[in-house]
Amino acid sequence: MEIREIKYFLAVAEEKTITAAAQKLYISQPPLSRAIKSLEDKIGTPLFIRDPAGLELTASGRALEKYARALLLQHSEMMREMKAISSRLNNRIILGANDGTYKFVIPHLVKLVNENIENPEIIIQHLPTDSIFREILDGTIDIGFARTPIPDKEKFDVLEIHKEGWAALVSKKYEWKTQSGGSTTIKQIVSQPLIFPSRQSLYVPIMEELTIDGVLPNVICYYFKLESAVVLADHGLGVAIVPEITAAMINHEDYVLKPISDLKLTTGYCAIKNKEFSTEIVLQLWEMIRRSGCFLAD
């Protein structure tokens, strides 16, 4: 039985639905369902039954829950002690960065660490945003960097390090009447085929802001990485809704990037760490980030 399976089992037991548990764990529903089925196969008995209130534990499930909580607590305490020892011996810091932060934040941060901490050992993991959240809670990442907004903020300590608005990105080959001028408006872009970010916490509020008189915007596809948004725009598929920092990634001879002047939603980057536990060196770095305020690599 793996620790991952125990965490999955307890999440389902607490939330009583696969959907809510998957959201809590920052994973999709199919792998969670498979993990629960695999655990039941290993034990040889069902752990849940369905009733009108959702999933309820069987007698076997209730017995497992008692031992699972104790085991998870022991595992958490063991990981904290091992990380603390490793941190003291090696000045080790494990950072997690997503698409944009890997490029724009991490270079600045590595410089900051090397200038202020003696003989640091910096490990950088390039991960999807949801994986960063999950691994911070698991204790395998010390500090993560991701684009705001951050779900379940009560689980994390959060420092905002960059704030920006949204812009419309098109290839200069794309026929769009509003290519002149320095900015654009919601009314000017909603009639176009649109390319949205794929992360739900980003595209849902944008979708709401771009819905006029009950008419939804014409979203033709979603991008996972900023680089993908640029590629899709380059193919002339439509107007990509992107963070303003995308300007640092494009050749302005080939693209038009216009801030959306009346879209008041903002996004940006933030630093995230586990609210419950941090080693001495992580707290030291966290304070350096806090003092640095808003920063991005050149």
Count the neighbouring beta carbons within 10 Å of the beta carbon of residue 123: 11
95, β-bridge pairs: 124, 143
Mean pLDDT across 93-121:
85
**200 pLDDT above the threshold of 80:** yes
Distance CA 137, CA 260 (A): 35
Which of 35-49, 76-90, 183-197, 217-231 is predicted least confidently?
76-90
**218 pLDDT above the threshold of 90:** yes
End-to-end CA distance of the chain: 47
Distance CA 21, CA 10 (A): 9
Please indicate whether residue 226 or residue 77 has the higher confidence score (pLDDT). 226
- Asked if 294 and 188 touch (Cβ cutoff 8 Å), the reply is no
Separation in Å, CA 23 to CA 20, 27, 132, 170: 5, 6, 14, 33
**87 pLDDT above the threshold of 70:** no
Q: How confident is the model at residue 225 (pLDDT cuts 50, 70, 90)?
A: confident
- Asked if 261 and 185 touch (Cβ cutoff 8 Å), the reply is yes
- What tokens were used for 63? 């017995």
pTM over 0.85: no
- What tokens were used for 150? 């951050």
- What tokens were used for 62? 């209730």
Which of 169-173, 188-192, 278-282 is predicted least confidently?
278-282
Distance CA 226, CA 250 (A): 10
What is the chain's length?
298
Distance CA 138, CA 79 (A): 9
What pLDDT was estimated at residue 286?
92
Q: What is the pLDDT of residues 254-272, one digit of tens each?
A: 899 999 999 999 998 899 9
What pLDDT was estimated at residue 248?
85
What pLDDT was estimated at residue 86?
63
Q: How confident is the model at residue 100 (pLDDT cuts 50, 70, 90)?
A: confident
94, β-bridge pairs: 123
Q: How confident is the model at residue 112 (pLDDT cuts 50, 70, 90)?
A: confident
Mean pLDDT across 76-80:
76
- Asked if 95 and 40 touch (Cβ cutoff 8 Å), the reply is no
DSSP structure string for 249-271:
GS-TTTEEEEEBTT----EEEEE
Mean pLDDT across 166-178:
84
Compute, in degrees rounded to 10, the torsion defined by CA atoms 53, 54, 59, 60: -170
Q: What is the pLDDT of residues 21-69, one digit of tens each?
A: 888 887 888 889 999 999 998 888 899 988 877 899 999 999 999 888 8
Average pLDDT of the chain? 86
What pLDDT was estimated at residue 216?
92
What pLDDT was estimated at residue 89?
60
What pLDDT was estimated at residue 208?
94
What pLDDT was estimated at residue 144?
94
**1 pLDDT above the threshold of 70:** yes
Pairing of strands 267-274, 156-164: antiparallel
Mean pLDDT across 224-252:
89
Nearest in space to 265 (alpha carbons), one of 136, 116, 147: 147
What pLDDT was estimated at residue 27?
84
What pLDDT was estimated at residue 206?
95
Please indicate whether residue 249 or residue 164 has the higher confidence score (pLDDT). 164
**221 pLDDT above the threshold of 60:** yes
- What tokens were used for 99? 């698409």
